[in-house]
């Protein structure tokens, strides 16, 4: 089993090379300066995303298509890291990659629920596949067959043998009585994060330390946003909030989640966990606009952890994980830009939403 210097020599070299290819805040600013969507695409072509856009004809340059193409880069990065990561860490990287498969699965299920309201001239699969993450050969779900199956029950039947079978088999009982995708989606999320955390805990030494730190930071973000949103928007009871969240993470402790679930003041808990986030109360006073801002700040906190992973000893899994997360955040910025430019949003409406350019160290 290769680990340490011997296991990481090749991958840390490769990841560092790929890291240097990430866009800088200046690049993002330059892209934000593009006057409209076509100019943005043309500016994107001169970045490392260029090769993913060059194959598109002019009439294919729709925002949705461009987003799909640039996501291919992230997919390639994951494939590359999965191939080169030391064997004992591959399950963790694969599970991290599954985040996008879970997203695809949710999109497929939502499409089945809403397909009756669609324009019947376009085949449902042709519409759905445009919004799916390009997961390539890693995919374990028969997405097309699921969409074509026409019902959620039949689609979930097709998940037999996939990593989602067990979670879905329990959740389907609730779906059949409630006819609502919420229990399925929550079950998928909980199952995903539990598996990811379990994979990180299987590691040892520095891999484990860095894996738990980076995955834990990401989990903190999700866990906090879940419990806050479920409490504020869904008015769920304490016992439901506890069952729909997770008892582990990096900085967020189970007691914090349970306190929020029990009705404690959210702002004081967040301020204690993240002293560098200011004016939390004001953000929570206006949840419609405040919660996205809070999520933005928490994401930036994860980004800082990722950037810090590149400092010091590079021979651990933290480096590839950090790179993959930073790539994902970069693509989230690009999606904001693409949607903003194609909808002709004003600068002040979208610039504060960019993660990279508003990041402070």
Partner 1 sequence: MLFPKQMSEVELIVPSKDLVAVTRALSGYGVFHQVDSANLGLEGLGQNTWQETAGAYSTLERRIQTIMQNVGLAEEYPAKPGIDTMVDLDATRPLVDRIDEDVKGVSDQLSGEKKRLELLESQLRQLEPIADVDVEVGALSKSSFMHSILGVVPAANITRLKTSLLRVPHVFFTLREDPQKPVVWILGQKSNSDVLERAAKSAYLNPLNLPEEFNGTPEQITGMLRREIESSKQRISGLEADLARLGASHKNELQRLLWDVHISRVMADAIVRFGQLRHTYVVVGWVPTEDLGDLTARLKEASREILIETMATSRSGHHSNIPVALTNNKWLKPIQDLVTTFGRPSYGELDPTLLIAMTFPILYGAMFGDLGQGLILILVGILAHNRIFMKGLQSIGLLLVYCGFFASIFGFLYGSIFGFEGHLIEEYLHFHFEPMWMSPLENILTILAFAIDAGIIILLFGYLLGLFNNIRSRDWAHFWFGHTGVVALIFYVCFLALLGGFLGDTAIAPKVAVAINSLPLPFPLLAGVFGVLVMFSGFFRNMVEGHTLIEGKGIGGFAMFLVQSFMDLFETGISMLSNTLSFVRVGAFAVAHGGLSLAIFSLAGEEPTIGFWITILIGNIFIIGFEGLIVYIQTMRLHYYEILGKFFHGGGMQFEPLKLNPSKEDA
> Which residue, 31 or 353, is less far from partner 1 as judged by CB?
31
CB of 132 to partner 1, least distance (A): 17
Asked if 239 interacts with partner 1 (CB under 8 A), we say yes
Helix (H) or strand (E) holding 285: helix 280-285
Q: How far apart are CA 348 and CA 340, in angstroms?
A: 11
d(CA 317, CA 330) in angstroms, rounded, equals 20
- Both tokens of 133, joined, read 């993450």
> What does the block give as tokens for 355?
């993660």
42 part of the interface to partner 1, by CB under 8 A:
no
Which phi-psi region, left, alpha or beta, contains residue 119 (left: φ > 0; alpha: ψ -120 to 50)?
beta
Task: State which of residues 38, 39, 42, 60 lies at the interface with partner 1 (CB under 8 A).
Answer: 60
Q: Are 47 and 54 in contact (CB under 8 A)?
A: no
Other beta carbons less than 10 A from residue 320's beta carbon: 31
CB 285, min distance to partner 1, A: 28
Cα separation, 21 vs 327, in Å, equals 10
Minimum CB distance to partner 1 smaller for 84 or for 305 = 84
Answer for which of 47, 69, 77, 84 binds partner 1 (CB under 8 A) is 84
Residue 171 or 210 with smaller CB distance to partner 1: 171
Contacts for 37-42 with beta carbons within 8 Å, 24 or more apart? 37/63, 37/338, 37/341, 37/342, 39/341, 40/337, 40/338, 40/341, 41/66
Please, what is the minimum distance in Å from the beta carbon of residue 239 to partner 1? 4
Which of 240, 295, 313, 339 is the binder for partner 1 (CB under 8 A)? 240
Please tell me whether residue 243 binds partner 1 under the rule CB under 8 A.
Answer: yes
Applying CB under 8 A, among 19, 135, 192, 244 the residue interacting with partner 1 is 244
State which of positions 262-301 bind partner 1 (CB under 8 A).
Answer: 262
Give how many residues touch partner 1 by CB under 8 A. 49
> Binding residue for partner 1 (CB under 8 A) from 167, 326, 334, 355?
167
Residue 13, C-beta contacts closer than 8 angstroms, at least 6 positions apart: none
**Biggest alpha carbon distance in the chain?**
57
Among the listed residues 36, 38, 39, 83, the single contact to partner 1 using CB under 8 A: 83
Distance (Å, rounded) from C-alpha 255 to C-alpha 262? 10
Token digits for 179?
């006819």
Q: Confirm or reject binding of residue 254 to partner 1 (CB under 8 A).
A: yes
Query: Is there binding between residue 194 and partner 1 (CB under 8 A)?
Result: yes
**How distant is the alpha carbon of residue 31 from its chain centre?**
22
CB of 258 to partner 1, least distance (A): 7
Q: Which of these segments, 246-254, 287-295, 309-317, 333-341, binds partner 1 (CB under 8 A)?
A: 246-254
Which range of residues in 165-173, 277-285, 288-296, 298-306 is near partner 1 by CB under 8 A?
A: 165-173
Q: Are 219 and 197 in contact (CB under 8 A)?
A: yes
**Are 186 and 245 a contacting pair, CB within 8 Å?**
no
Q: Quick one: DSSP state of residue 134?
A: -
Which CB atom, from 55 or from 275, has the smaller least distance to partner 1? Answer: 55
Neighbour tally for 25: CB within 10 Å: 14
Give the interface segment with partner 1, choosing from 50-58, 89-97, 284-292, 312-320 (CB under 8 A).
Answer: 50-58
Binding partner 1 by CB under 8 A: which of 35, 55, 161, 275?
55
Q: How many whole angstroms separate alpha carbon 85 and alpha carbon 90?
A: 6
Binding residues for partner 1, rule: CB under 8 A, are: 6, 9-10, 13-14, 17, 26, 29-30, 33, 46, 50-51, 54-55, 57, 59-60, 80, 83-84, 121, 123, 145, 148, 166-167, 170-171, 173-174, 183, 187, 190-191, 194, 236-240, 242-244, 246-247, 254, 258, 262
């Amino acid at each position: 089993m290769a680990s340490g210097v011997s296991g990481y020599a090749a991958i840390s070299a490769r990841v560092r090379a790929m890291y240097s290819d990430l866009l800088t805040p200046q690049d993002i600013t330059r892209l934000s300066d593009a006057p409209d969507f076509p100019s943005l695409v043309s500016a994107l072509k001169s970045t490392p995303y260029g090769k993913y856009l060059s194959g598109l004809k002019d009439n294919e340059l729709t925002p949705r298509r461009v987003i799909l193409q640039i996501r291919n880069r992230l997919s390639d990065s994951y494939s590359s890291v999965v191939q080169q990561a030391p064997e004992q860490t591959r399950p963790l990287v694969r599970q991290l990659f599954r985040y996008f498969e879970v997203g695809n699965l949710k999109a497929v299920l939502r499409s089945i629920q809403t397909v009756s309201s669609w324009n019947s001239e376009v085949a449902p699969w042709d519409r759905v596949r445009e919004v799916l993450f390009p997961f390539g050969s890693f995919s374990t779900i028969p997405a097309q067959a699921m969409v074509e199956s026409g019902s959620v029950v039949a689609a979930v039947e097709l998940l037999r043998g996939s990593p989602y079978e067990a979670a879905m088999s329990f959740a389907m009982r609730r779906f059949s009585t409630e006819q609502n995708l919420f229990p399925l989606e929550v079950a998928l999320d909980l199952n995903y994060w539990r598996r990811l955390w379990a994979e990180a805990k299987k590691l040892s030494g520095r891999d484990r330390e860095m894996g738990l730190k980076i995955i834990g930071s990401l989990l903190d973000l999700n866990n906090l946003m879940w419990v806050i949103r479920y409490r504020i928007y869904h008015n769920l009871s304490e016992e439901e909030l506890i069952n729909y969240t997770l008892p582990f993470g990096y900085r967020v402790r189970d007691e914090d989640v349970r306190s929020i679930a029990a009705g404690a003041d959210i702002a004081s808990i967040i301020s204690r966990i993240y002293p560098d986030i200011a004016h939390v109360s004001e953000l929570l006073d206006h949840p419609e606009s405040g919660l996205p801002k809070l999520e933005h700040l928490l994401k930036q906190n994860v980004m800082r952890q990722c950037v810090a992973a590149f400092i010091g000893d590079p021979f651990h899994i933290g480096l590839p994980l950090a790179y993959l997360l930073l790539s994902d955040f970069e693509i989230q910025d690009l999606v904001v830009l693409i949607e903003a430019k194609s909808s002709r949003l004003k600068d002040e409406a979208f610039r504060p939403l960019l993660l990279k350019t508003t990041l402070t160290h």
